[in-house]
Chains A and B, each alone.
Chain A
């Protein structure tokens, strides 16, 4: 089944690559979205931290907030947005064929994807990387000590390939125990079926939090791969790409300037910093190039908060957060040694 769907997907992607140029045409995406009255933002099947359903049927998560930010920038209203949950096999096709206006999900930005699928990746909103989870009482403190270990991994992803590469490079002789479903993978690990689990560090942090006794497990410091998770839009509509890109930059820039959901009103009125005034639309005309209203960035921060607030809520230690420390990670602001950096907004 899985294999067949993949063949279909590749066929679809081929078709998209050919048609990519023709799909992006006459009407601009911004006009289409405005005319329709809501943004269609693509995420994946629920994934902890990034996009989840709550028991009342509402979406929440880091990537959902990015979708809301773009909706706020365009309409000033985060409810004018429809979340589309698309399986990973169909994700790029659904964007390229015009079903989705943008994609904000755990998609790693790679050269092939950027150049061959008729889509463009924008700036990352999360830097992930592959790592290992082990039991604390195993005494293992580094991935290099996993000699001859059995490692649980989900199949058919780059995760599995990275694991094999890592094992070969370091001559560890790791044996892969593969699973289709990550819940089964974790159960096997918990019941002693393997010595370690490998996967994206962010999702593993969430999984550990869901184990019966989280304190018995830990993530090893090594990172096997670079996973910049970025939003993407269709190739060929630069204005639309600018809107999405700068909506994300606005989140990061607001954090840097100390603008929060709570104080954005006050900052727009009384701040002395021209950077703040320009960004929030009290001065200058940053909005004109984007084709948005003057208060676009103000609306973003007013509705969803700045990047730090979103991170804390869903990836950090908020009530719905999966509990990944931000300090010292790649996702900290550049001023704190991380990679979150917005070009100047002027």
Chain B
């Protein structure tokens, strides 16, 4: 006879051993006498390591001192962070003139301001924002960092960049406040219809022209002092090299990858040769070739800019790695996608740009970001060829007389900085992946 009731028997709570903290500890840490010993031993090791590091780096450490001798006088067993603190300007800005450092800070703030809309859900026209950053920001930042007389070209580009920045910021405001795209907003305020036609376009162009002229006249009234690239250094230089490297190696890599899969023999052979040559030599060799051998082939008195040579070398080197990553992504796209694109009448470029690349790039994000992180860390190699990037600066502290021999603390500080940079890049890539694959979750 079956006992059937209409009501469900209430769930019983899990046994105490499953849900209490003590139960968890018992199960996971002290399940047998052998595991108990291991737990205690590990606990002890963790304890002495953590207290040791804490005592060295914090309790016994010296944060304010005139020189290393004063650190020793304070404590023989603690870290001497005073040296790192004394050198912070060098570590972040290199030998950049101290009264001009604000220019680097402004450049950094402008970049954040420019990129911010990309993270804001309500802002429209993200593709334009992204293009604006890549096309205009380098000119504005380039002038801000190096200064000197603006030629006519730089005057136009700087004005263009400022106009783009104004438009970008205005677009961000209209987006956040009213969820509207800037041109639509302008037209609405002017009382015109937003339907696309020639008059609307002409109004917008006229407005743009007025703003541009105003900015152009305004920028004629100021210049900033010239600062030679030889004074660039520290984290700033690392960011310049890796920033340009990152921004240029991805497009370069995509072109090379497409070239390598091209049906045109000459293009394919050139791309394959280029990729294979650069991939087969170490970066340091490429850097030495660019800075040491290259000038030998140039006419005497040829103006050498080591920084430009280094940046070009870094871009070429990383574009080749990127090309292979992109090619891997392209190969993962099923043939059906190409065929479907052809069926609806798309040509090569539109197939690639609208159908293939968006899918391929999404799959490649972990690898691409991996390359970017690698690139950021690889740029420290430039300290070997005499540029004072962050690593070069950190290593120089131990040679400065007041801090002679101080080498552990700077390197630990550098490791910390790099961890912060690389880990945030990595977290951001995870975030992007989740966001972009939202459509795939069935």
Q: Which A residues are within 8 Å of any B CB, using their own CB?
A: 1, 4-5, 8-9, 12, 15-16, 19, 23, 25-27, 32, 45-48, 52-58, 82, 84-87, 89-90, 93-94, 97-99, 183, 186, 206-207, 209-212, 319-322
B contact residues vs A (CB 8 Å cutoff): 68, 72, 76, 86-87, 89-90, 94-96, 98, 228, 230-231, 233, 282, 284-285, 288-289, 291-293, 295-296, 300-301, 304, 384-386, 388, 392-393, 395-396, 398-402, 404-407
Contact residues in B for A47 (Cβ distance below 8 Å): 399
Given A53-B95, A57-B231, A90-B404 contact (CB < 8 Å)? no
With A1-B282, A15-B293, A27-B300 known to touch, is A90 a contact of B386 (CB < 8 Å)?
Answer: yes
Chain A, Cβ-Cβ closest to B293: A12
How far apart sit A94 and B294, CA to CA, in the bound complex (Å)?
11
Question: Are B289 and A55 in contact, with the CB atoms below 8 A?
Answer: no
Contact of A46 with B400 in the complex, beta carbons under 8 Å: yes
Q: How far is the CA of A4 from the CA of B405 in the complex (A)?
A: 28
How far is A12 from B295 in the complex, measured between Cα atoms in Å? 11
Q: How far is the CB of B152 from chain A (nearest CB, A)?
A: 24
* Other-chain residue from A12, A84, A98, A207 in contact with B300 (beta carbon distance below 8 A): A98
New A-B pairs, 14, CB < 8 Å, besides A12-B293, A98-B300: A5-B285, A8-B284, A23-B300, A32-B301, A53-B400, A55-B89, A57-B94, A58-B95, A89-B288, A90-B385, A97-B295, A99-B295, A206-B404, A210-B406
A46-B399 contact in complex given A5-B284, A12-B292, A207-B405, C-beta closer than 8 Å: yes
* Distance (whole angstroms) from the CB of B69 to the closest CB of chain A: 8
**Complex contacts, B95 vs chain A, CB 8 Å:** 53, 57-58
Q: Could you name 27 residue pairs across A and B whose Cβ atoms are closer than 8 Å?
A: A4-B282, A5-B288, A8-B285, A27-B300, A27-B301, A45-B395, A45-B399, A46-B399, A48-B401, A53-B95, A53-B393, A53-B400, A55-B400, A55-B402, A56-B89, A56-B90, A56-B98, A82-B228, A84-B230, A84-B386, A85-B386, A89-B288, A90-B291, A90-B386, A97-B295, A206-B404, A322-B404
Question: Which residues of A sit under 8 angstroms from B402, Cβ to Cβ?
Answer: 55, 320
CB-contact partner of B401 in A1, A15, A84, A320, under 8 A: A320
With a cutoff of 8 Å between Cβ atoms, the chain B residues found around residue A320 in the complex are 401-402
**Across-interface contacts of B404 in A (CB, < 8 A):** 48, 206-207, 209-210, 322
Contacts of B293 in A (CB 8 A): 12, 15
Q: In the complex, A291 Cα to B235 Cα: how many Å?
A: 43
Task: Give min CB distance, A194 to chain B, whole Å.
Answer: 17
In Å, the complex CA distance between A34 and B395 comes to 34
User: Are A16 and B296 CB-contacts (below 8 A) given A4-B282, A55-B89, A57-B94?
Assistant: yes
B277 shortest CB reach to chain A, Å: 15
Contacts of A19 in B (CB 8 A): 296
State the total of A-B contacts with C-beta under 8 angstroms.
121
Contact residues in B for A56 (Cβ distance below 8 Å):
89-90, 98
Q: A9-B288, A82-B230 are in contact. Are A210 and B405 (CB under 8 A)?
A: yes
Q: Are B398 and A87 in contact (CB under 8 A)?
A: no
Q: How far is the CB of B151 from chain A (nearest CB, A)?
A: 20
Residues of chain A contacted by B68 (CB below 8 angstroms): 210
* Nearest CB of chain A from residue B215's CB, rounded to whole Å: 33
User: Chain A residues with Cβ under 8 A from B398's Cβ?
Assistant: 183
Centre residue among B230, B233, B291, B398 by max chain A CB count within 10 A: B398
B284 near A54 with CB under 8 A, answer: no
Question: Measured between C-beta atoms, what is the minimum distance from A206 to chain B in Å?
Answer: 6
Docked Cα-Cα span, A212 to B87, in Å, equals: 21
A53→B90 contact, CB < 8 A:
yes
Roughly how many angstroms separate A19 CA and B289 CA in the complex, as a whole number?
16
The interface residues of chain B lying within 8 Å CB-to-CB of A183 are: 398, 405, 407
Please pick, from B300, B304, B396, the residue contacting A25 in the complex, using a CB distance under 8 A. B300
A90 / chain B contacts, CB cutoff of 8 Å = 288, 291-292, 385-386
Instruction: For the complex formed, measure the closest distance between the CB of B285 and the CB atoms of chain A, giving whole angstroms.
Output: 6
A52 touches B401 (CB 8 A): yes
A48: chain B residues within 8 A (beta carbon): 399, 401, 404
Q: Contacts A99-B295, A186-B405; is A52 near B304 (CB within 8 Å)?
A: no
**Chain A residues with Cβ under 8 A from B400's Cβ?**
46, 52-55
A206 to B96, CA, bound (A): 28
A64 to B434, CA, bound (A): 55
Chain B nearest CB, measured from A88 CB (Å): 10
Q: How far, in whole Å, are A210 and B83 apart by their CA atoms in the complex?
A: 13
Q: Which residues of A are found within 8 Å of B384, using beta-carbon distances?
A: 5, 87
Most A CB contacts (10 A, CB to CB) among B385, B399, B407 go to: B399
Contacts of A87 in B (CB 8 A): 384-386
From known contacts A46-B396, A57-B95, infer whether A4 and B295 are also in contact, taking CB-CB under 8 Å.
no
Q: 6 smallest A-B Cβ distances: which pairs?
A: A210-B405, A57-B95, A46-B399, A210-B404, A183-B407, A46-B396
B396 touching A53 by the CB < 8 A rule?
A: yes
CB distance from A154 to the nearest CB of B (A): 14
Complex-state Cα separation, A183 to B404, whole angstroms = 10
Per the bound structure, the CA–CA distance linking A57 and B402 in Å amounts to 14
Contact A57 B96 (CB under 8 A): yes
Q: How far is the CA of A94 from the CA of B295 in the complex (A)?
A: 9
Q: Is the CB of A8 within 8 A of B76?
A: no
Q: Are A321 and B300 in contact (CB under 8 A)?
A: no
